[in-house]
Structure 1
């Protein structure tokens, strides 16, 4: 079968039961896509093998953002692996629908025993730990019910395991999803796990339910690591057109810091309309004497330059700041 015919066959027979575009060998075989045909599709570059027994069409793989590819690899493991552990840490966070910036593509699984390496897979990070029934949950993925750590235990495990930025992104999202911060603090205090406890305490102390996105969470962690004055979150500003909320604001200096993630322009309404509304919002606020500084994901790649931009904006707005710069940046 030539490549064009094979591609047409894949398109017409691709199983509707695929999860996020990922299909197992059994799903494919049930729809007439047997092993020899699948092997040919892989050789011709029409399919990507994410792991043994799990595939995605190459066109979907190529269109996926790097962070979505991490999710797809996890789906492949969930659907095709016979691993008998519990999904935990950042893998459980993904399965619970929490943001997991910077945690990598590794699959984290916890076991009550030391599993044989053959039962884990090459991309699995094993953890040996046990859970009470209250610390476990089942998440439905396609036709399966998958054992995962509870949302609360997941946040605590991530807070112990990952650096502050990653832990805060996950924890802030957990609070927005309804997790109780006092309950997290109580569970951490009662936990017999000592390794990473100090790191977890620091992360929980930093969480804020008002942080509305991964970008805002990263911005908060960044600012806390500088010598700059800290702004308030989600500040209401009343204008002649009504009240707006801004991501961060230094009220004293009438300076606003906005994190521009693409989601605010693409997710909720047509992009031209969203951009027009955003421009009108900014004009209404600036009429009251406020100034804006906008940052995005790329700005975090150069923390020295980012701190300098924010510092310069504060000085222009009237702030008197110490001459010294932050020392934590290389």
Structure 2
């Protein structure tokens, strides 16, 4: 499966002499990404904007310099119009195997930079996370590579498989949910085509499970199966996805995404809901308030009043509260009946830190 995308907005070009570049670096006006690749440095710009600019600049370098590799993982998902839990700055590339082994470049390491052997495991992971390019070496079939905007990119199906296998579960499910929505065609007014969307999603799920069945005992397959089985085309934001994942790992019956609520004012579709207890959960991100906050708040109150008039209790939360996983789960356990909080947790969807906390709680 493949996808098309419109040309990506290009970051601003940096045209300076080497002496000017050094001056701008010293004053903090420029930030170096890699050799001969720089972006403007502005401390007032939000991190997600800086990350996006960084990623687009690096992708331009891949395209213009014809760097070896196929764009993969979260970078590929974004090129397929998918979503990610956090805005990534790193570009992931799958490169060909080098039979002669990797050869380090001739560049000298800065004198204040420790070697990899001197770093502990955690610092080593952090250092790897700051690399502009992360290169992976594994086999790709020709059918797993498509061309998007002049870039070689893993196909949508292969991107979903790789993200499910190799990303932490929270990031993996956010990406895979969004790719399910793309494959199923859950765009404008998806509720009018529920059966069609569910059928397409079921076929995509089976295709991914078939791929995973062909990789017995390979790394990440168990986690990937859990991600694929939990994925849905109905999640309309990454924080709705994360709320569902937290329920799954916390032993709470997962809510229905885009739950229909019929009211006197019409049918509304709640972000998440438990129809059995007539409760919905709305996740209010800040982005919806940027253009006309008063109008959005008025519509929000009218919608909530209509649902409450139909006998539905509405709880509201924010992405920041969902991101604080333990507190979010504690709140749900307070408002949901005990019968909905006795499910078997899906341990494969826990992140590494969540697994450590769970083991500590058992001790």
- TM-score range relative to shorter protein: 0.7 to 0.9
- Alignment pair present for 1:303 and 2:325: yes
Report the CA distance shift for 1:19/1:44 in structure 2 as closer, same or farther (over 3 A): farther
Of 67, 72, 76 in structure 2, the residue corresponding to residue 88 of structure 1 is 72
Of 9, 13, 23 in structure 2, the residue corresponding to residue 40 of structure 1 is 23
Segments of 5+ residues of structure 2 without an aligned counterpart are: 1-6, 107-127, 185-203, 346-356
Deviations 1:233-285 (CA, angstroms, capped at 9, x unpaired)? 2111111211111011122222111122223444xx63321221111101111
Output aligned runs, 1:1-330, within 5 Å: 19-23=9-13, 28=15, 33-59=16-42, 62-64=44-46, 66-80=47-61, 82=65, 83-102=67-86, 105-114=89-98, 115-118=102-105, 122-140=131-149, 145-178=150-183, 180-190=204-214, 194-266=218-290, 270-315=292-337, 328=358
Report the CA distance shift for 1:242/1:21 in structure 2 as closer, same or farther (over 3 A): same
- Partner SS state of residue 74, structure 1: helix
Deviation at 1:53, TM superposition (A): 2.0
Q: TM-score, normalised by structure 1?
A: 0.78
Q: What is the CA–CA distance in structure 1 between the aligned matches of 2:142 and 2:344, rounded to whole Å?
A: 49
Alpha-carbon RMSD across the aligned residues, in angstroms, is 3.2
Check the 8 A contact 1:135/1:150 in 2, yes or no.
yes
Report the CA distance shift for 1:130/1:229 in structure 2 as closer, same or farther (over 3 A): closer
* Bigger relative contact order (CA 8 A; separation at least 6): 2
Report the CA distance shift for 1:166/1:122 in structure 2 as closer, same or farther (over 3 A): closer
**Higher mean C-alpha displacement, 81-90 vs 157-166:** 81-90
**Higher mean C-alpha displacement, 244-253 vs 255-264:** 255-264
Report the CA distance shift for 1:211/1:21 in structure 2 as closer, same or farther (over 3 A): same
Q: What is the CA–CA distance in structure 1 between the aligned matches of 2:134 and 2:336, rounded to whole Å?
A: 44
Aligned residues: 296
Check the 8 A contact 1:231/1:249 in 2, yes or no.
yes
Q: What is the CA–CA distance in structure 2 between the aligned matches of 1:18 and 1:281, rounded to whole Å?
A: 36
Report the CA distance shift for 1:84/1:321 in structure 2 as closer, same or farther (over 3 A): closer
Q: What is the CA–CA distance in structure 1 between the aligned matches of 2:333 and 2:60, rounded to whole Å?
A: 49
Q: What is the CA–CA distance in structure 2 between the aligned matches of 1:206 and 1:322, rounded to whole Å?
A: 18
Q: What is the CA–CA distance in structure 1 between the aligned matches of 2:57 and 2:341, rounded to whole Å?
A: 52
